[in-house]
Amino acid sequence: MKRLLLILVICVAQTYQSFGQGLSNTFYDEVWSVKVKQIDDFVDRFNNEINFLKNGSLVKNKFSPETRPKLLSSLVNYDKVKDQLLVEDFIQWIYKEEFFLQLGKDNIQCELNVDAFYKQKKFNLDLILKIEVLENGAMKWVISDAKSTSFPWKTIEQNPSKFINPSNHNLRFSNLFKLINEGNDIQGMFANDFELNNFSIIVHEIIEGNLEIKEIKKIDYRISIDEKFKFLVSYFDVPSTPSGWLISEIY
């Protein structure tokens, strides 16, 4: 009788274990390994939850804390991030410190690489966006900066031979007419620490209708974590899993 009972207990335990493994694998395959289609999906999974709309209402599903390291690991593109120790340190720090992403914080920036045209001439341009929170709590994306390795307008270089004479005030600053109207080598009219603000020029040229954007070629999200880590989230459209929005760089 005892032997029969022991066999029965072992069979039940094995059945329960097999069911648990099957449930875990199914859960991982259907939830964790699914393509991260939207950046909102990335934020949800990073925060250890899956959210979806049902009948017009947001339904939140928070997982147990123990699942978070595995879920975070599924968001890393290991073909791009080669340092395994760095990844482990990154995941463990997020898990232990209970750090969660929140849209609307200054630590999330979006980088758009676009095909831009200035007076019909193409040049490379990166637009930096961040979320701005309004007084009523609403949020919007705003352009906060712009970068390029080849701005199409002229730079201003210091020319010591072009300046406003220190006694020119006695002549009602007559030098200004020549310097400004000639339009060349005008840096001598400005302070030594003057820097050309390309972002302001971009805003002005957009208003004037001289600058257009034809195509957004690439989108990345750069995220900072309490001065401890920074990481880049990029989109990978590949047939394997994981795919979609994944961490492509940690530093």
* Longest Cα–Cα distance in the chain: 118
Per-residue pLDDT of 113-144, as tens digits, reads 999 999 999 999 999 999 999 989 899 999 99
Label residue 164 by pLDDT band (50, 70, 90). confident
- Asked which of 6-10, 169-173, 241-245 is least confident by mean pLDDT, the reply is 6-10
**Cα 138 to Cα 151: distance, rounded to the nearest angstrom:** 34
pLDDT at residue 14 tops 70: no
Name the range with the highest mean pLDDT among 102-106, 193-197, 212-216: 212-216
Neighbouring CB atoms inside 10 A of 29's CB total 11
* Residue with the larger pLDDT of the pair 4 and 137: 137
Quote the DSSP letter at residue 76: B
> CB–CB of 7/15 below 8 Å?
no
**Cα 113 to Cα 128: distance, rounded to the nearest angstrom:** 9
**Cα 233 to Cα 43: distance, rounded to the nearest angstrom:** 10
Question: What confidence score (pLDDT) does residue 20 get?
Answer: 31
**Cα 234 to Cα 221: distance, rounded to the nearest angstrom:** 7
Quote the pTM value: 0.76
Q: Cα–chain-centroid distance for residue 124?
A: 19
Structure tokens at 87: 């990844």
* Residue with the larger pLDDT of the pair 27 and 100: 100
